[in-house]
Chain A
Amino acid sequence: QKEVEQNSGPLSVPEGAIASLNCTYSDRGSQSFFWYRQYSGKSPELIMSIYSNGDKEDGRFTAQLNKASQYVSLLIRDSQPSDSATYLCAVNRGRDDKIIFGKGTRLHILP
């Protein structure tokens, strides 16, 4: 089982709709969860961090964490073409705090 798993996509979402990105992780000791956005040819950029069960909202972005089910998700409301990118889920490994990245989900917002 991979430590952090994401659907590679592409996920196509109409402009203005909600994009839902999911991530599962294997280490029950993980405490910190991150979402990064990576545009083609650019470096990953941190967009959300979440540490407690439940929802965390920041503008059009909402991160959701469920430690019991070992999944974390990212919702993007009112999707814009500029949201088209690869979204990387990252999780800290409990035993040494090493950050483990998923392979990323490619999101395509359809104009």
Chain B
Amino acid sequence: GAGVSQSPSNKVTEKGKDVELRCDPISGHTALYWYRQSLGQGLEFLIYFQGNSAPDKSGLPSDRFSAERTGGSVSTLTIQRTQQEDSAVYLCASSLEVAGGRNEQFFGPGTRLTVL
């Protein structure tokens, strides 16, 4: 079946503009994560949607960042008033929720965001 998809693959925007990044998880996957990865750096956790539970937003770096997940499927990450330090690759991953944590994550191809 289809893997995790993300759009757009590349986004160039001007400082101060808002951007929306989209993630389509694997069908049936109830857990969804957003990460940010700057060049040469590790994965930075942003937000975690777990089924019907309240999302874990503990990784969002500022109130300019928000995310929602509609209908338990597609997710949108919104960055308001973008700054140059927001430039990075934004990765989405999804997984089944399996008892005991056997929730293997599968990643999308990412969205490369460049803020000029």
Q: What number of B residues sit within 8 Å (CB to CB) of A?
A: 24
Contact A34/B105 with A51-B100, A101-B42 known, Cβ cut-off 8 Å = yes
Q: How far is the CA of A104 from the CA of B35 in the complex (A)?
A: 15
A72 within 8 A of B: no
Q: What number of A residues sit within 8 Å (CB to CB) of B?
A: 23
Residue pairs across A and B with CB atoms within 8 Å: the count is: 56
Closest to B101 in A: A92
Among B33, B101, B104, chain A packs the most CB atoms within 10 A around the CB of B101
Indicate if the CB atoms of B105 and A31 lie closer than 8 Å: no
Type the 1/0 row for A62-89, where 1 means its CB is closer than 8 Å to any CB of B. 0000000000000000000000000010
B25 within 8 A of A: no
Indicate if the CB atoms of A49 and B42 lie closer than 8 Å: no
Indicate if the CB atoms of A101 and B103 lie closer than 8 Å: no
The SS class assigned to the A binding surface is loop
Indicate if the CB atoms of B101 and A32 lie closer than 8 Å: yes
Query: A49's contact among B48, B97, B102, B109, by CB below 8 Å, is which?
Result: B102
Contact A101/B43 with A43-B110, A44-B107, A96-B56 known, Cβ cut-off 8 Å = yes
The distance from the CB of A67 to the nearest CB of chain B, in whole angstroms, is 13
Query: A46's contact among B43, B105, B110, by CB below 8 Å, is which?
Result: B105
Taking CB atoms, residues of chain B closer than 8 Å to A94 are 101
Q: How far is the CA of A31 from the CA of B103 in the complex (A)?
A: 11
- A sample of 15 cross-chain residue pairs with beta-carbon separation below 8 angstroms, ordered by A number, consists of A31-B101, A32-B101, A34-B104, A43-B109, A44-B43, A44-B107, A46-B106, A49-B102, A51-B102, A96-B56, A97-B103, A101-B35, A101-B43, A101-B45, A103-B41
